[in-house]
């Protein structure tokens, strides 16, 4: 006679298997439904099981060109598949408006989960109530009142960056400006948002900066090889995984350093800056609103914030300088505007009141971000069927992508789209343009929380360097936009580096 305990164990096992079968069958049904509903959409022909995996380049340096070819061939809306994922790429502004503002596509793509262990489970990744709680805790620390106070720090970092560039000008060497900008951007983030004074030559800080672009490379490598989305499977990659673990450790150590130093300062009752609102780390550690984040969530947000802000500011300013180096006439106009604002004292620190007068410089940044959107590809997931104005229904469970290089170069909204023309952002030339035809910081409820911070940082550093220096591309460098070769990991950068020469004025 079978005992009671074995019977109970057997029943539990049967129920577990049944639950797995039900879950598997449900997932399979959703997968087949999504494929069936998107089968007639334009897109590259998929192979069985692997989908369009063979259409993707083995060398990730070629990924930008491949995705641009997909968009120009099948856009403005196409589907692609990769293993069990179904993607719908949306590039019509009116369709984008619906997707970016709908509750049915408010959640970030599930593929971002692969970045959690490196980048942190911060505002860029979390969804639902967790996202709302994080956003509510963080938003007050990026209020305009606080950003005004940051300008002095931005200006100081810009002046230090100008001094570094001046030393390289004296040597007459060609160099990649991107890593130097990364150090400047990271130092600014640490001193402002994190209110932490980490020495720019700190070894751990240098390791952190070196690891950021590598981390993004790992992210893209795994996204387009979905069999590596699992950390367990990725651990068998003998070349990639050890580097991955080392980066993870570097990010965690640097994050712990920032938070630990700030907590120690608060324990010593060191006074906080006297202002109505406090910067992010001060706010979270000293206010009731900030207390909504526990220690683990705070660490994740710090990691996310520092990584993304450093990388995006670095790439945006690199492209700006590169565009000035290629378009000398634009560089002269920016310099003239800044000379008019700063007067005879070109080296003085920029004040917040100066930024409003930098109208042409701001248009140059906007045009730079139109042609080179720093986050060229980002995505959401459809939690329910969504009907688009174009008549296409995105089925639930689909990954929804936006490819901004196609959107920002649509001749309907940007005549002569391959021409670098900052004046296309004059008020009279912007009138009537679809609001979702230009979204370098995304749009809707999940837009970039740091976009005002970014623009103020970029304009302030530009005011510190352009009046004192002239930028040129080397003789064998690009002569026009079409010559600029691009690389994409999570953000966009110049393939081979933004190599320039600098001259003192």
* Bond from prior residue into 76 cis (ω within 30 degrees of 0): yes
**Residue 208: inside a domain, yes or no?**
yes
Is 233 within a domain?
yes
448 annotated as ligand-binding: yes
Q: Are 101 and 444 in contact (CB under 8 A)?
A: yes
User: How many residues belong to the chain?
Assistant: 505
The arithmetic mean of pLDDT across residues 358-368, rounded, is 98
Q: What is the pLDDT of residues 281-329, one digit of tens each?
A: 877 777 776 677 788 888 888 888 888 888 899 999 999 999 999 999 9
**pLDDT tens for each residue of 446-467:** 888 889 999 999 999 999 999 9
235 burial via Cβ count (<10 Å: 0-12, 13-18, 19+): middle
25 domain residue, yes or no:
no
pLDDT recorded at residue 407? 97
Position 119 pLDDT exceeds 70: yes
Please check whether residue 16 lies inside any domain of the structure: no
In the DSSP assignment, the letter for residue 432 is: T
The whole model's pTM is what? 0.89
Residue 18 falls inside a structural domain: no
Confidence (pLDDT) at 4: 55
- Residue 311 belongs to some domain of the structure: yes
Q: Which residue from 129, 85, 136, 139 is spatially nearest to 107, judged by alpha carbons?
A: 129
Name the residue with higher pLDDT: 279 or 97: 97
Q: What is the dihedral of CA 193, 199, 204, 207, to 10 degrees?
A: 80
Q: Show the domain range for 235.
A: 3-7+31-36+45-504
| Residue with more model confidence, 112 or 234 | 234
What strand order describes the sheet that includes 499-504? 175-176, 499-504, 469-472
188 assigned to some structural domain = yes
pLDDT of 37-67, one tens digit each? Answer: 999 999 999 988 888 988 988 888 899 999 9
pLDDT tens for 253-276 read 888 888 888 888 777 776 666 655
Contact yes or no for 164/281 (Cβ under 8 A): no
Question: What pLDDT score was predicted for residue 238?
Answer: 85
DSSP string, 42-60: --PPPBTTTBTGGGS-SSG
Query: Domain count of the chain?
Result: 1
12, part of any domain: no
CATH assignment of the domain containing 197:
1.10.630.10
| pLDDT at 8 exceeding the cut of 70 | no
Question: What is the predicted pLDDT for the residue at 210?
Answer: 84
Residue 103 is given by DSSP the state G
Alpha-carbon distances, residue 34 vs 88, 113, 380, 452 (angstroms): 10, 21, 15, 38
């Amino acid at each position: 006679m079978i005992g009671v305990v074995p019977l109970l164990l057997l029943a539990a096992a049967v129920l577990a298997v049944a639950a797995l079968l039900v879950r598997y069958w449900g997932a399979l049904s959703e997968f087949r439904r999504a494929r069936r509903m998107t089968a007639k959409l334009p897109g590259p022909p998929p192979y069985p099981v692997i989908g369009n995996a063979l259409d993707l380049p083995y060398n990730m340096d070629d990924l930008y060109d491949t995705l641009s070819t997909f968009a120009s061939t099948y856009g403005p809306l196409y589907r692609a598949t990769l293993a069990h994922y179904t993607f719908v790429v949306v590039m019509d502004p009116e369709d984008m408006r619906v997707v970016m503002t709908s509750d049915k596509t408010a959640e970030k793509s599930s593929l971002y989960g692969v970045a959690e262990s490196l980048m942190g489970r911060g505002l860029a990744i979390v969804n639902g109530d967790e996202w709302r709680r994080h956003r509510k805790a963080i938003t007050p620390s990026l209020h305009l009142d606080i950003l005004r106070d940051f300008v002095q720090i931005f200006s100081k970092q810009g002046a230090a960056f100008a001094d570094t560039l001046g030393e390289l000008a004296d040597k007459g060497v060609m160099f990649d400006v991107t890593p130097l900008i990364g150090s400047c951007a990271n130092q600014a983030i640490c001193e402002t948002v994190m209110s932490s004074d980490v020495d720019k030559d700190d070894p751990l800080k240098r390791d952190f900066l070196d690891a950021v672009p590598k981390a993004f490379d790992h992210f893209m490598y795994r996204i387009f090889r979905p069999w590596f989305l699992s950390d367990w499977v990725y651990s068998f990659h003998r070349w990639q995984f050890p580097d991955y673990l080392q980066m993870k450790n570097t990010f965690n150590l640097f994050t712990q350093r920032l938070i630990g130093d700030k907590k120690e300062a608060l324990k010593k009752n060191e006074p906080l800056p006297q202002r109505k609102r406090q910067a992010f780390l001060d706010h979270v550690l000293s206010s009731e609103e900030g207390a909504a984040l526990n220690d683990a969530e705070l660490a994740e947000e710090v990691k996310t914030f520092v990584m993304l802000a450093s990388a995006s500011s670095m790439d945006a300013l690199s492209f700006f300088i590169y565009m000035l180096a290629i378009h000398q006439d634009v560089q002269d106009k920016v310099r003239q505007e800044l000379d008019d604002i700063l007067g005879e004292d070109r080296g003085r620190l920029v004040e917040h009141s100066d930024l409003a007068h930098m109208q042409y410089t701001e248009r140059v940044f906007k045009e730079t971000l139109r042609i080179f959107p720093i986050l060229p590809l980002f995505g959401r997931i459809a939690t329910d069927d969504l009907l688009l104005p174009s008549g296409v229904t995105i089925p639930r469970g689909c990954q929804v992508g936006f490819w901004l290089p196609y959107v920002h170069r649509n001749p309907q909204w940007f005549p002569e789209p391959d021409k670098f023309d900052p004046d296309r952002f004059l008020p009279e030339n912007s009138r009537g343009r679809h609001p979702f035809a230009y979204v370098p910081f995304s749009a809707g409820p999940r837009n970039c929380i740091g976009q005002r911070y970014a623009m103020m940082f970029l304009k302030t550093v530009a005011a510190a360097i352009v009046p004192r220096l002239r930028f040129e591309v080397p003789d064998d460098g690009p002569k026009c936009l079409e010559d600029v070769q691009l690389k994409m990991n999570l953000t966009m950068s110049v393939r081979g580096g933004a190599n320039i020469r600098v001259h003192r004025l």
